[in-house]
Amino acid sequence: EHPRSLAKRLSKEKAEKALASLQTEADYAPSFVLAADTVVAVGRRILPKAETFDDVVNCLGLLSGRSHRVYSGICLITPAGKLRQRLVETRVRFKRLPRAEIDAYVASGEWRGKAGGYAVQGLAGAFVVKLVGSYTNVVGLPLYETVALLTGEGFKVHANWQSVRP
């Protein structure tokens, strides 16, 4: 499966599963259901969500000195049952990672459960030479696109925002 279609499929499956569980809860119906999933890929090769030391070492070795893409699928199901999806793509280039730097990152434990074996909002942000696209996509939820999707379907995203006073 292509990384793009995988991200879309996984987000849709999550949203449908959440909707099915909500349909048995009268307090939550009808509701907006939002789900997302992120996939990291080098070409067509999909990197795992790193769970073991071998996973993260392999991922970082593959990403070292190369460009990769981060895809996030977002799926929204409205209270009326309308399904809307978006796919966000970000290109990321890592510097060449010496083995000592990979070992230090692995020792941090920050990589556990992260797509591609890294968290850009943490220590791995120092690995990024170039990022083209949405930074929040690489973090895990592309905020601009998510808010646009929700507001486009009538969800009052800003209703509870309060003004900030100095």
Q: Which ranges of 23-69 would DSSP assign to H, the alpha helix?
A: 53-63
Q: Which ranges of 86-128 would DSSP assign to H, the alpha helix?
A: 99-108
CB contact set of 136 (below 8 Å; sequence gap of 6+)? 142, 143, 144
Residue 41, strand partner residues: 46, 69
Which of 27, 37, 55, 103 is catalytic? The answer is 37
CB 36 within 8 A of CB 141: yes
Say what angle helices 53-63 and 99-108 make with each other, to 10 degrees.
140
Element (H, E) at 47: strand 45-47
Active site residue 55: no
From 144, 152, 159, 151, select the one nearest 72 (Cα to Cα).
144
> Which of the residues are catalytic?
37
